[in-house]
Amino acid sequence: MPRNKSIVLLSVGHACVDVYQGAVAALVPFFVAERAYTYAAASGIVLAAGLLSSVAQPFFGALTDRRPVPWLLPVSTVLGGLGVALSGISGSYALTLLFVALSGIGVAAYHPESARVARVAAAGSHSSMGWFSLGGNVGFAAAPLLVTVVIATGGLRFSPLLILPALVGSVLTLPILRALEQAPRGEGGEEAADGRDDWASFVRLSLAVVCRSIVFVGLSTFVALHARQQTGGGTAAGTAALFVLYLGGAVGTLVGSRLAHRWDRVTVVRMSYLITVGAVAGVVFVPGPAIHLFVALTSIGLYVPFSLQVTLAQDYLPTRVGTAGGITLGLTVSVGGLTSPLIGTVADATSLRTALMPLILMPAVSWLLFRTLPEPAVPKRLLGNRNEDAARTTTAGSPETSR
């Protein structure tokens, strides 16, 4: 299958899965409104989706490193959608936690194998991996709109309709599965690993990803409520803030893949985190409609590193690309969910603004962790593709070509 077609299918499928990560946070205001949940109870729902995902992520990553399991793509997509679809049909808090946890397992199962397949399809291209990651960002961005349209129309009892993207995404994976079955051994299935694993650098990168995750999931959970307080607006103001947070991620992902062709990935990621510190401070402290501008800047700053961290992790662990991709793609949303109940508890005891203040420090910690990270050596089998991509980007932006 041509690279462009396979990446498009993988990107759209990624969107159909990650819409459910965004949907959990988007459902929080509706749970608060219909079921009178406290901040702590509402954030516990995000925790349920993230906790099992965090625990399961290393297992699925190790599984894909032992042998390819492409059938996980359609199965995990349906599982992720089913959990969210069932979350609104029962008033039981325990069942709601169970259903969103089921969705979290589906998401955990999807990311390591999809990252491995995307690496094979992208042949090491930053741009192709950027487009694959963009699919997840688009899914996040679409989540609050999808949830608002469906739930605002008929309430939480309409949540079964939310399974539709999962059904579409699972169908889109079928051509990928057929292409992998037909590909010669070593092209569509297993990769020949070269290079040594740099675990020390990978651990530091993973800690930076965790700090980024805390900011993003914390804002995903509470920015809708915070924006309503800061602007004095209603549900529309909160939904707009959440939409901007997710949509800005799509912009940041594409910008990051472009910048990586001009500077090395570590430099791009490091500078992005430094700029994000001020953007998060603006979200927390700036009142009125201007908060949406800072939400956009924060989102772009958090997502410029997104696809770059995936390829960095895979280059740090060239013999364990499933584990590397699973952690950097999965932990960006799952581990951050573990801190959401703490933010909610502080918000209940003080104020939501006070609870969000510690998030300002997290990008600074990520910057410190990246400050002395080395740029990893690119595996030889991928180096030609990345150089070809860089040359294409340079030529496309040259004055001769533009004329």
Using an 8 Å Cβ cutoff, are 212 and 362 in contact?
yes
Q: How far apart are the first and last CA of the chain?
A: 33
Question: How many C-beta atoms surround the C-beta of residue 225 within 10 A?
Answer: 19
What band does 401 get if pLDDT is binned at 50, 70 and 90?
very low
- The whole-number pLDDT of residue 185 equals 52
pLDDT at 162 over 70: yes
Per CATH, the homologous superfamily of domain 7-393 is MFS general substrate transporter like domains (1.20.1250.20)
Spatial separation of the C-alpha atoms in residues 174 and 169, rounded to whole Å = 9
Question: Position 17: which residue type?
Answer: V
On the question of pLDDT at 64 being above 70, the answer is yes
Can you tell me the distance from the alpha carbon of 233 to that of 221, in angstroms, rounded to the nearest whole number?
18
Structure confidence at residue 177 as a pLDDT band (50, 70, 90): confident
**Which residues, 6+ apart, have CB-to-CB distance to 104 below 8 Å?**
48, 49, 50, 51, 52, 53, 56, 80, 83, 334
Structure token digits, residue 220: 């995903």
Task: Report which of residues 102 and 53 the model is more confident about.
Answer: 102
Separation between Cα atoms, residue 340 and residue 44, nearest integer Å: 7
pLDDT band for position 396 (cuts 50, 70, 90): very low
- Which string of b and e fits 323-345 if b means at least 16 CB within 10 Å? bbbbbbbbbbbbbbbbbbbbbbb
pLDDT at 385 over 60: no
The model's pLDDT over 320-379, given as tens digits with 9 standing for 90+, comes to 887 787 777 666 656 766 787 888 889 888 888 999 999 999 999 999 999 989 988 765
CB–CB of 324/116 below 8 Å?
no
The pLDDT assigned to 285 comes to 92
Residue 78 has pLDDT above 70, yes or no: yes
pLDDT band per the 50, 70, 90 thresholds, residue 281: very high
pLDDT, residue 399, reads: 31
